Structure 1
């Protein structure tokens, strides 16, 4: 069986309000105003597909939010999204591999975040057979082609795969291909699901 894990709020807890909080302090712009201005526009998708680099993305987002930040200040806020790893999920990933299942990570991400979590959470890479990243693949969830590419590279049929993600659109995208997809709405979903199958 192929197990596919998203990263954010599946293996590692994230909180975007932490990002806006740091930028609010550094840019001296009220947090409520940043929350009102913030939307995930096309530049987010371009960044996650590797179509624009970190500096270009920072400039676009600062313009959208009305923030005057240096790239170093932008990065400090951008990295604040990470709260901490979910050790129980890491344990389950290792257990699945020990029993002979294939375990991979599929994440919509970007270079700045990769630089951070690969250093801060080495246990994520150690618990996975392979990590698939949107910025390296030039595509992102929920685009059908990203699931097709992963399934093809892994040599499994869609029905032999189980996918965990916290985003409902990503879940729907995987299901359209025939992948068994589980919507991770809280930290108990994955342990409960795997316990029911072992």
Structure 2
């Protein structure tokens, strides 16, 4: 079997409020104002596909939020998203590999985050046979092509694949291709699935 794990809120806990909290403190803009203005819009998607660089992304988000932050300040907030690793999921990934299954990570992410999380959470890379990242592939979930690409690279079929993701749209996208898809709504879902 091929097991595909998303990264954020599947293997590693993330909290976007932490990002806005840092930006609020650094810019003096109320958190409520930033929460109201922030959207995962076009710039966000372009950055996740690797279509725009980190500094251009930072400029666009700062403009959308109406804040003035240096690139270093922006980055400090952006990396605050990471909370901690879900060790029980890492253990399951390692066990699956020991049992002879193929285990990969498929994440909508960006080059800025990839400068941070592999160092902070080295066990993620050690527990996966391969890591597929949206900004390297030029496509992102829930686009059908990204799932097809992973299946093709792994030499397997949707019927022999299980996918875990916290984003419902990504689950819908994978399910449409015939992949068994599990919506990870909290940290109990994956351990419960394997019990």
Q: Which residue of 2 aligns with 1:66?
A: 66
Q: Which residue of 1 aligns with 2:159?
A: 159
Give the superposition deviation at 1:80.
0.1
Question: Aligned partners of 1:10 and 1:77: how far apart in 2?
Answer: 21
Question: Aligned partners of 2:113 and 2:84: how far apart in 1?
Answer: 13
Give the superposition deviation at 1:194.
1.2
Question: Aligned partners of 1:38 and 1:50: how far apart in 2?
Answer: 20
Q: Which residue of 2 aligns with 1:35?
A: 35
Give the superposition deviation at 1:147.
0.1
**Secondary structure at the counterpart of residue 51 of structure 1:** coil
Question: Aligned partners of 2:40 and 2:127: how far apart in 1?
Answer: 30
Question: Aligned partners of 1:159 and 1:65: how far apart in 2?
Answer: 43
Q: Which residue of 2 aligns with 1:57?
A: 57
Question: Aligned partners of 2:39 and 2:112: how far apart in 1?
Answer: 19
Question: Aligned partners of 1:105 and 1:173: how far apart in 2?
Answer: 16
Question: Aligned partners of 1:101 and 1:56: how far apart in 2?
Answer: 40
Question: Aligned partners of 1:141 and 1:42: how far apart in 2?
Answer: 14
TM-score, with structure 2 as normaliser: 0.99
Give the superposition deviation at 1:190.
0.3
Moved over 4 A (4+): none
Question: Aligned partners of 2:73 and 2:86: how far apart in 1?
Answer: 27
Question: Aligned partners of 1:186 and 1:69: how far apart in 2?
Answer: 33
- Where structure 1 has 5 or more consecutive residues not aligned to the other structure, the ranges are none
Q: How many residues align?
A: 195
Superposed CA offset, 1:91-121 (max 9, x none): 0000000000000000000011011001100
- Where structure 2 has 5 or more consecutive residues not aligned to the other structure, the ranges are none
Q: Which residue of 2 aligns with 1:176?
A: 176
**Secondary structure at the counterpart of residue 115 of structure 2:** helix
Question: Aligned partners of 1:179 and 1:135: how far apart in 2?
Answer: 23
Is residue 145 of structure 1 aligned with residue 182 of structure 2?
no
Question: Aligned partners of 1:194 and 1:149: how far apart in 2?
Answer: 26
Question: Aligned partners of 2:123 and 2:28: how far apart in 1?
Answer: 36
Question: Aligned partners of 2:125 and 2:62: how far apart in 1?
Answer: 31
Question: Aligned partners of 1:125 and 1:131: how far apart in 2?
Answer: 7
Root-mean-square deviation over aligned CA pairs: 0.4
